[in-house]
Structure formats: structure tokens, C-alpha cells
Chains A and B, each alone.
Chain A
Amino acid sequence: MSGVVAATVAAPSALSGGANVIAVGVLLAEFGMFRQALLRDQVRLYAVQSALISVLAVVVAATRHLPDLYALAALSFALKTVIVPIVLRRMLRGIGAIGGDPRWSDIAGSHALSVASAVLIAIAVAAFGFFTVAALGLTSPVLPDTALSISVAVVLVSFVLMIVRRDVISQAIGFLSLENGVSLTALVVAAGLPLILEIAFLFDLLVAVVVFGLLIRVHHGRAESMSTAELTSLQG
């Protein structure tokens, strides 16, 4: 009667299952950036993605007894989830929906392709990342291999994001989320990286954010739009 016992694949442990779920969440946030139509939602999604990486760092710290990672998680949370979004929003104040020309107030129409096609292309690119990493046979002592493949997919998808969205905000966020993908990779392959190096990377990021904020302001001041579609000629 109970002939339903099947050749089941062994379930992953709760740790690796949970870690993979968080990593998949990071990748899904990256895909979500294809669709966001409002400047502030795009920044918010980046904050969520960064928070997920901090959570993953805490999980690794707790289960692999790497106390350094607690400090890294706290610092990365403070910087990427709190400070960077605040700085971005400060610098872009007046460019967003409040004030400015309402035609360019948001980033809804900046798709070079339809969202569905962009997502399909990104799936193909992510698949490339997945399977190349699988072929390399890298293994990690702290996190499951799948998390490494996902992190590479995050990096590649963020390139696609920067290519298919023709507005400066999405391109800046795409670059910052690329850094999130790299952080995720670092967490998988080098969880024991010296703290000072990680902190140096994080403050580099802060500089990048300020530079991006300035560039966006300058671009908006000159072109009176968020779109990069008009940037077609070089100037001496």
C-alpha cells in the first residue's frame, strides 16, 4: 500500500539549506532591481540585499565560530544598509519625485528591453555563472558550494542590470550590488579574511558612493534627466 517510498535526494543540513536560502534571496533582490520603477525603491532594495548578506555573515560567524565575522557583519550592516542609502538619498534629494521635472523624476521607463526579456537574458547569464563555478570544483569550508555559484551569478546579473537599464541610478546601484556579490563570494571562499582588509573594502565602497552621488548630480544638472540615452557623443 505504501509504495510511495522514493529514491529521495538527501536533504541538506539545516545550516546549508538556510545559508542557500539567504544566498538565493540576495540573487532574487538583484533580479528585483530589473523591475523597480522608483528611485527610492531601488535604493531600498539595495539596502535589503545588503542586510541579507550581513545576516549570512552572522550565520557563518555563529556556526563556524569566527568571532571576527560578527564585527564585519555589524560594520557592513551599518555601512551598506544604513549609511549608504542615507547618503544616496541625501545626495539625490531634489532629483527624485519631489521637485525637479516630473518627466524625469523616476526611473520607470529606463528599460532598454522589456522586463520579461531582461529577466530571461539574466537567467541565461546566471546559468552560465552557476555551471562554470560548478565545473571549477571549488569548495568552501564554511558555506555550501551552491552559495559560491549564487554569488558569481549575482555579480554577472548585476552586469546585465547595468547594461539593460539606461538610468544613472540603476547603473550606480548595479555597481554597488556587484560589490555585494563580491562580498558574498568573499564570505564563501575566504570567511577568515583579515578584518582590516574587509574594513578597507567597505570604506572604499563609501568613497564610491559619494563619487557616484556627485556624478549623478552633475549628470542630472547637465542633461536634466536620469537617462543615459543622450550620452552619445564624446567631448574633448
Chain B
Amino acid sequence: MSPTLPIPVVQLLQVVTIAAAAPGVSGVISRVEARLQGRTGPRVLQPYFDLAKLFRKEALAPIGSSWVFLAAPLGAMTCYLTVPLLIPVLTTFGLPLGYMGDILGGGFILSLASFLVAVAALDSGSPYAQLGASRAKTFGAITEPVVLFVVFTVALVTGTDLPYALAATVRSSAGQIIRPAHLLAAAALFMVILYETGRIPVETHTGTNEFGMIEEARPFEHSGPYFALLKWGSAMKQLILFTILLNVFVAPWGLAATPSLVSVLLAIAALVGKAAVLGVVVAVIDNSFAKLRLFKITEFAAGAFLLAVLGVFTLYLGGG
């Protein structure tokens, strides 16, 4: 009989798990990607060292920038720390704060973070950062309908749009997994995640400076602890999106059904393991496809939209 954790501690552990594991998942992806290209690549723990280094450095702000420039990384980080309260990170049962918001609520908070970063990029006055911010908003606007249709699919399947409910539905039977609506919605969400995390069909993730940059260009002018917060935040956003895909859509197994210490620890290990496997998939995609030209990204978004819309169609006719 293992000791039982108090519920608030489990709730806190959701946030801590995401925050602590996020740089590691980024490290796994860049390591696997390098191995696939025949390079040795950085250590898996390298992102942690990078963050530690950046936190010790001096912070500078461009001349003429306002307080928004320095406040935005903190605001964005706050958003990324809030979302793990709303989604099933570790438990199958809803935690008390888990009902503060549904999938749309979580989506709004993630968009708020992205908005804050974009505003800071505009405030910096640097053309590169402004370019990245405006592109991120432009393409964000065309991936938004995809997310909405994925939410519609979830709502039609479960009668609600709480992520916990969909995870429970997917666990309930194999028939829920092979229905086309579920597969289409999961595939559409995966494509959106590739866009949102700046992966290869949309953007190269290696940090080189080039004209095709979108997400990577935005924190160009930030430095020191503020840059560290932005990097950490984007790693957390990636792990949050991975968690939504894994624990809600694709593989909602291995979550803790009770707040006992052992099962929560197992759930943490399962989440990190699943995220690492998904990271390997992302790294393989990174190495298998060419980057799309900027004006071809609409084709990518149209493909994702097609999948999400077909999911809703099949459900509406009762067969999905």
C-alpha cells in the first residue's frame, strides 16, 4: 500500500512535470535528429545547461523599447505554467482546477502567450523579430480553424469539450480509436502541432538565421534570463501540445487512476517516455521532408483543415 498524495500536490506535480521535462524532450529531439543525420549531436541534457547559462547572463533591452518588451516573457511563462492545470498530464480523474477551462480555454491561454511574445517582438523594433511575429500571427490565423474543427469533433464524440472526457472515451473501447473521426482529428492536431512547434514542413528548428524563420525569429532581441524564459516557454509549449495529443487523443494510457505515490510516479515516467517516442517521430519527419516554401505553408494548413473538416462530416452523418 503506497502512500496517497494530497490532491493539491498532484495538481502541482502536473505543472512541475511539464516545466522540468520540457527541455529534456527538446534535447531528445535534437539528439535523435543529429544521430539520424550521422552527427553526434548535443547531449540530451544540453537544453538545461543552455538555460542555466542564459539565466546567469546580463539582460539587455533595445533602445526605445518599453516595459512590454521585458514583461512579455514573464507573462508568456505564466500562461505556459497555467495550461498544465487544465489538461490530463498525470491523472485520469479531473483535478479540482482542471475544470477551470475546457480545450478552448487552454487554447486561448496558449494564444495569449503567443500574442504577448509577438507584441514584445514588435516592440523590439528589430525587422527580423517583427517579420517572425507577423508571420506567426498570419499563419496562426489559418491554423486556428483547424483547431476549432478538432474541438468540434471532440464535442460531437463526447458531448462535451473537456479533455478528460475524450481521454476516458478513447480508453473505453477499441471502436472509439479506429473510428475515422478520431483518426482524422488526431492527424489534423498533429499537423497543427508540427506548425505550432516550428517543425520541418513549416520551419527549420536548428536556430540558424534565415529568411524562412517564423517562431524562431521572435525572441531575436531578447537576452539573458528573459531569453531563457522564452526558450523554456517554447519547450514547455511543445511538451504541453505533445501531452494533449498523447494523453487526450492518441495514447491516454499509463495515467494515474488514483492519487497514490507509486501510480503518480509511474504516470510521470509514462508521460516522459511517450513524449520521447513522439519526439523521435517528429525527428524522423524533420529528416524525411523538405521545408515548405513560405507561400506553400497554406497548402499544409489546407491539408490539416481538410482532415479536421472530414472528421466532423463523418461524425455528423452518424458513421464516424
A7 contacts across to B, CB distance below 8 A: 158-160
* Known contacts A8-B169, A17-B179; is-contact A116 B320 (Cβ 8 Å): no
Interface contacts (Cβ under 8 Å), in number, total: 118
Tell me, yes or no, whether A6 is within 8 Å of chain B by CB. Answer: yes
Tell me, yes or no, whether B284 is within 8 Å of chain A by CB. Answer: no
- The residue of chain A having its C-beta at the shortest distance from the C-beta of B142 within the complex is A116
CB of A2 to closest CB in B, whole Å: 5
Tell me, yes or no, whether B299 is within 8 Å of chain A by CB. Answer: yes
Tell me, yes or no, whether A33 is within 8 Å of chain B by CB. Answer: no
Tell me, yes or no, whether B172 is within 8 Å of chain A by CB. Answer: yes
- The residue of chain B having its C-beta at the shortest distance from the C-beta of A10 within the complex is B175
- The residue of chain B having its C-beta at the shortest distance from the C-beta of A149 within the complex is B317
Q: In which size bucket is the chain A interface?
A: 35 or more
- A20 in complex: contacting residue of B93, B172, B319, CB < 8 Å: B319
Q: Establish whether residues B178 and A21, one from each chain, have CB atoms under 8 Å apart when the complex forms.
A: yes
Q: Establish whether residues B301 and A116, one from each chain, have CB atoms under 8 Å apart when the complex forms.
A: yes
> A31 CA to B316 CA in the complex, in Å?
20
* Known contacts A116-B298, A119-B303, A145-B319; is-contact A17 B168 (Cβ 8 Å): no
Within residues 1 to 33 of chain A, which ones have a CB less than 8 A from any CB in chain B? 1-9, 11-14, 16-18, 20-21, 23-24, 27-28, 31
User: Chain A interface (Cβ within 8 Å of chain B)?
Assistant: 1-9, 11-14, 16-18, 20-21, 23-24, 27-28, 31, 35, 114-116, 119-120, 123, 126-127, 130, 134, 144-147, 149-150
Further pairs besides A6-B165, A21-B180: 14, Cβ < 8 Å: A4-B94, A4-B162, A5-B165, A7-B159, A8-B158, A9-B158, A11-B176, A17-B175, A17-B180, A21-B179, A21-B183, A31-B306, A114-B298, A119-B305
10 contacts between A and B (CB under 8 A): A1-B93, A6-B160, A6-B165, A8-B169, A20-B180, A27-B310, A114-B299, A115-B296, A115-B299, A146-B317
Listed from nearest, the 10 A-B pairs whose CB atoms lie closest are A146-B319, A11-B175, A7-B159, A116-B302, A6-B165, A116-B298, A4-B164, A144-B319, A119-B302, A17-B178
